[in-house]
């Protein structure tokens, strides 16, 4: 057993140093042993999509082609379907949900967990540390500013930011 631990540590140090030298970055241990593209393929995501190994993926999650899913993301399709399109950027720390337990908690379990499908269109950019609430639809080519809380649908090509997220163009969509 000590021999196995020694070999694992040695492999870890070798891979960590190689990653630092080649890309000048430090990543989680899982990303040293598999590529982000292998992780996405394992999860059944579309061709060309990359997904860091430390992303939490729960339930019914589909992701299109050529989408980048950054580190420390939560993709929670445990309440209903979570669908993410092609050519999206899901930045570090983003959380996307298909359920919430507000009514369940505040009713001391008498009410059901609230569920709703969440859909992210094609060509969507979601900035770091955003939270996308259950049941939200984000249209194609939309931009969600960093640290935004999105609790309403976002029209295609819109730019929203804030908590709650509001349209940059004052279209009244949020």
Residues 68, 148, single domain; the answer is yes
Q: Are residues 4 and 28 in the same domain?
A: yes
Query: Do 75 and 8 fall into the same domain?
Result: no
Q: What is the pLDDT of residue 87?
A: 98
Spatial CA neighbour of 68 closest among 128, 151, 15: 128
pLDDT tens digit string along 92-115?
Answer: 999 999 999 999 999 999 999 999
Stated as kind and residue range, the H or E segment containing 40 is: helix 36-42
Range of the domain at 15: 1-33
Same domain, 51 and 9: no
State whether 156 and 70 are in the same domain.
yes
In a domain? residue 5:
yes
Q: Is the peptide bond before 58 cis (omega within 30 degrees of 0)?
A: no
Mean pLDDT of the chain: 94
User: Same domain for 98 and 142?
Assistant: yes
Q: Residue 83: inside a domain, yes or no?
A: yes
User: Residue 97 is part of a domain; what is its CATH number?
Assistant: 2.160.10.10
């Amino acid at each position: 057993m000590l021999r196995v631990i020694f070999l694992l540590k040695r492999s870890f140090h070798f891979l960590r140093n190689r990653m630092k030298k080649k890309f000048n970055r430090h990543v989680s241990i899982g990303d040293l042993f598999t590529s982000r593209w292998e992780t996405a393929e394992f999860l059944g995501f579309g061709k060309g999509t990359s997904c860091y190994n430390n992303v939490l993926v729960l339930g019914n999650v589909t992701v299109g082609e050529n989408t980048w899913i950054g580190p420390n993301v939560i993709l929670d399709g445990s309440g209903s379907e979570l669908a993410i399109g092609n050519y999206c950027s899901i930045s570090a720390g983003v959380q996307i949900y298909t359920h919430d337990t507000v009514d369940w908690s505040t009713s001391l379990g008498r009410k059901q967990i609230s569920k709703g499908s969440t859909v992210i269109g094609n060509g969507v950019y979601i900035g770091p540390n955003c939270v996308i609430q259950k049941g939200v639809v984000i249209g194609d080519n939309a931009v969600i500013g960093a640290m935004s809380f999105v609790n309403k649908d976002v029209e295609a090509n819109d730019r929203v930011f804030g908590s709650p997220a509001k349209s940059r163009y004052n279209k009244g969509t949020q």
